[in-house]
Amino acid sequence: MLLLVIVLLVIILLSRVIEQSIKFPKTLSIIIFAFSISFLFPNLFLISHEEFDEILYLMLPMILLPDILNISLKELKEHAKEIFYLAFIAVILSISIATLITPYILVDIQFTTGMLIALFSMLMATDAITVASVMSKFKLPERLKIYAESESLFNDVTALIIFYFIALPLITGGEVTVLSINITLFKVVLLSLIIGIVVSIVGYLFMKILKDPLDQFIIIYLVVIISFLLAEHFHISGILSIVTSVISFKLLVQNESSHKQIPKDLKIDQNSMLELIKKIPAITKREFREYKKEAVFIGIFANAIVFIIIANIIDFESLSLYYKEVLTIFAITTIIRYSAIFSMVKIFKLPTRWLQTLTLAGSKGALAIIMSHSLPDSFIYKDMFIAIVIGNVLLSTLIYTVLLMLHININKKAYEKDILIFNAKESNTDKYVKSLVNIIEKDIDTGAYNKPFIEEIFQHELARSQRYKTNLSVLSFKIIKHNQENTQLQQIGKIIVDTTRTNDYFGKTAEAQYIILASDTSLSGSMILAQKLLSKIDELQDVELIFGLTQANDTDTLESIYEKLEDALERAFSPDGEKVEIEV
């Protein structure tokens, strides 16, 4: 066990080094290292299929949690039609088409309809781990990333329902009718939602009692794991329960007012106990953001464990025996996925280049392998199906990911234009609301956003930067000296507004201290901006400014960025007379 931990940590560190050096996705690095070790040292870690299933059931909630925590409910609502198409309609159509055409391609094998539905329902579930890892490494339109990441979470539910409640009964000789399918679908979805909501509420109430950060972090994981285990115990959708529990928990946190006060004269009795519980805040938004960051670290470790054990259950002899079937099914699923995405691109009038990205975001994962292990031992083609599934997991992860990276790099400039176009469309939607907010929330003298409003924007921009791996630079400046005239403050504010871009934000954080949020801007770019501002403001008489700069990283919070800016401003301020205007 100690050796396994050492190997895992080394693999994670090496993959992180490669990711930081050449932007090669850490998931792909972990897979390559895991399979290399398995191939070179086949007896290093021995694991059975049953142990694989148990470990994966344990790791799955930990892997999915950070991805679901980063889902924006607003984005889900805005793009519900596209996500529904990808996660539900496209899956059903793809399985149906593949089931119809495969007998004419693999003519030597006598497949029944139930067998083919089982095979393709396993292969239609895309892997959230790989998709999120790859998509986060590139600058792509937010809408495109939402499509890929949401599909990878929600199409698992559709595939699981079809596999367990339609395909397996057909294989084992059970009766499946349209009515039974509808009843089963309704029961599975309803019960999964109920379990997720109930468990999240119970966990939320416990967080009102236990205030220690470690206790609360454990509660979050218990909510996810218990909802998953309960759903699996009742043979419904564990993944849907996980998604529901986390989203419900997020809603409870977001809707709770952080400034609730407990009345001093409230007496603790049976009648007031419920009121007291309601008034105790469970968790602040700041604490919730910290837990999201910690969940990412645990998810990386769990991710490495999954790929290590996948590498150690592969039977290369079986893969070589069924290589024709593996390659044929891989070709069929790829062509069908391309066709399904092509229809979506045309229906929703999306850029044509998105067709390649969404098609190649269809990597298969460990969930497909677990489904293949659920096939009955009496099933005549079980070994073949396991080989086909594992082969397709390997091929899709490696080939799709490499092609996706090449496609994005080749079309880098086109995707940068897409980012500008779609950001402009989304900003125009709220243009009228923003104009009202500008009147209410801006400083009279400089036109800067007031502190509460700029910090709300700051939180949103920081979360967006960390989720989509985009640059976010923050400039803080302090007015050391001016002639005490409001007109001069107005001139400074006008220079800031005229020099910055429309997607930058200018705010006031303290008396005579301001910040500028420069989205999609590197540290060198913010340095150029600061120099431009200084050169223009130097033209004003009796004005002296100092600048502090920093760039947000994956682990930053608002507080840590403020600390770095304060340190930079302290270094920039030189009371001994030496003029230092900009510090990083």
Q: Exposure string (b/e) for 455-483, b if CB count within 10 Å is 16 or more?
A: beebeebbeebbbbebbbbbbbbbbeebe
pLDDT at residue 436, as a whole number: 45
pLDDT at 281 over 60: no
- Res. 261 pLDDT band, cuts 50 70 90: very low
- Res. 278 pLDDT band, cuts 50 70 90: low
pLDDT at residue 290, as a whole number: 64
Q: How many CB atoms lie within 10 A of CB 165?
A: 21
Q: What is the pLDDT of residues 117-155, one digit of tens each?
A: 999 999 988 877 667 666 766 778 878 888 888 888 788
Query: 438 is written with which tokens?
Result: 């500008």
Asked whether 19 and 137 are in contact (CB, 8 A), the reply is yes
pLDDT at residue 259, as a whole number: 43
pLDDT: which is higher, 233 or 542: 233
pLDDT at 359 over 80: yes
Dihedral sign, CA of 414, 352, 73, 247? negative
Residues 6+ apart with CB under 8 A from 474: 458, 515, 516, 517, 518, 526, 549, 550, 551, 552, 561, 565
Strands 582-583 and 544-551 turn out to be: parallel
pLDDT at residue 226, as a whole number: 92
Q: What is the pLDDT of residues 529-581, one digit of tens each?
A: 888 888 888 787 777 888 889 888 876 778 788 888 888 888 777 555 444 56
Q: What is the pLDDT of residues 64-89, one digit of tens each?
A: 777 777 677 777 888 899 999 999 99
Asked whether 375 and 171 are in contact (CB, 8 A), the reply is yes
Point out the least confidently predicted range of 234-238, 304-308, 490-494: 304-308
Q: What is the pLDDT of residues 502-540, one digit of tens each?
A: 778 888 888 888 999 988 888 888 888 888 888 888 787
Helix (H) or strand (E) holding 519: strand 513-519
Residue 76 C-beta-side C-alpha neighbours within 13 Å: 14
pLDDT at residue 91, as a whole number: 94
